[in-house]
Structure 1
Amino acid sequence: MPELPEVETVVRALRQPLIGRTITGVRNDWPRHIGTPTLDELRARIHGCQVKAINRRAKYLVFSLTQGETLIIHLKMSGHLAVVAVTTPSNKYVHTVFELDNGQELRFRDTRKFGRVYLVQDPEQILGKLGPEPLEADFTPEVLQERLNGRTRALKPLLLDQQLIAGVGNIYADEALFYAKLHPTRPANTLSKNEIEALHNAIQKVLRLGIEREGASIELYVKPDGSKGDMQNAVAVFRRTGDPCYDCGRPVERIVLGGRSTHFCSNCQK
């Protein structure tokens, strides 16, 4: 699933071709792609709306439109967005298309059909329960400590909780825990102040690295232009099972924790 760095990369790529454009229509062959409102209502409300801004909140793309509307898209496991000419041959996995006023289209390709599209006037309807943005200035070690206080869950599944911290997923949770030297099964309430600071710094380090490298093309993720990101070539532990740890040389291990593959060095992470 695209995580914070992948979604941020998509947002940055879509701003130039979309901001200032007007949406003139919507095509859809998979109504369940539309989370809210109904497809017919979405078509009626979004027609004639101009794209004013595109931002990211957690793993959501947030399109601020005129007429008080906000278009929100979650890519889920396999979603891909691209702006192409209307004459570009289609793909059988493109299920939602936003027609634009300049002969182009924003196409939402979604192989596994888990992605969702929302059109709301109050973005908090969809985004209101999300945790803090980990790269914002107000996300401090003290904020992280406050959010971990009293929690007995293992660190790895806790970091995936979008109400705790927004945008961290499987790749970057594994990477952050490696750089913080914390074992993924460690109960959150056992961390010292120094360990919390290390985790805070590691979360920000790996997310910034992921953005710098334009995401990790490990499974289905590619950038809007179809090219790959480069974070997969910079991971320390994720999907490196059996390979030597870059710090100590011991084999990277894999376990399933909270239903998710988890990669770590049992020698370096305590």
Structure 2
Amino acid sequence: MRLNLRRGGSAHDSEKHDGTGGPSGPPAAFATLIEGRWLWVAVDAQPGRLALARVDADSQVEQVVDVPTEAITDQPDHLGARLDLAALDGHEQRYDVVVVPPDGGTPLSLTTEPLPSALGHTSIDGRTQHLLVRAPDGRLRVRTTLLPEAAGLLGVRKLPDALEVTLLDAGAGADLAILDDEGAVLASWPIDERGTATITPRTVTHLEPTTRPAVTGHAGAWKPVRRRANDLLDPRSAAPLPQLDQPHADRPLLRLPWSREAALLVRIFADDEAP
């Protein structure tokens, strides 16, 4: 893959200032995060290799971490690499993007101009989010955070007059539900011992048209439902899940789309609403 090299951007995505300074390192000629997992980065050609180095609470570089890395060799004037951040899934941490000298000496943290604002995507495990940010002192940094606990969608099965929605880690005695803006239940469906909730037309025909996040649990302890092993830049483009149709009509009554953040949504249609 050929890098479209650039320097800087317009809007910025920066971390909260922590009052610390940092080393002045080589500027990044290109840096982007793809599909919430792949970090593509390049600097002007120089000895060494590109890597990540963990930083402590005072933004001091601690140690280089090993992640699967593929060198990009089709840009002779640049040192480039693709790093697989999925190896960092499951842990909250901050990492500087660095050049490690050939002799294994002190890593040099890359610097960057303000970065374009970007919407975070989940990594492949569905519960970790990697963000490419600019530290207060200008260093290029990967910030890894854990998303709130969620259930995973195992499958959706269409029956003649219902949908069966099966979840992973829903919890004993839980419901599948949609809530209003105040947290009140608009509709809920009990989850059986298989982890399956059954949605029938009569449970939703009384509702106004709406699109709401699907949640599971019980009052006061709801959690979202996320896409398992998310590998799409925009999960909204995923293959459609089975839908529930209007009784006695060839029109949708309920669909289960994905949000851009890989969370399951419930969309209710009006009787005469076109899909």
Give the structure-1-normalised TM-score.
0.30
Greater RCO structure (CA 8 Å; 6+ sep): 1
Compare CA radii of gyration and give the structure with the larger one. Answer: 2
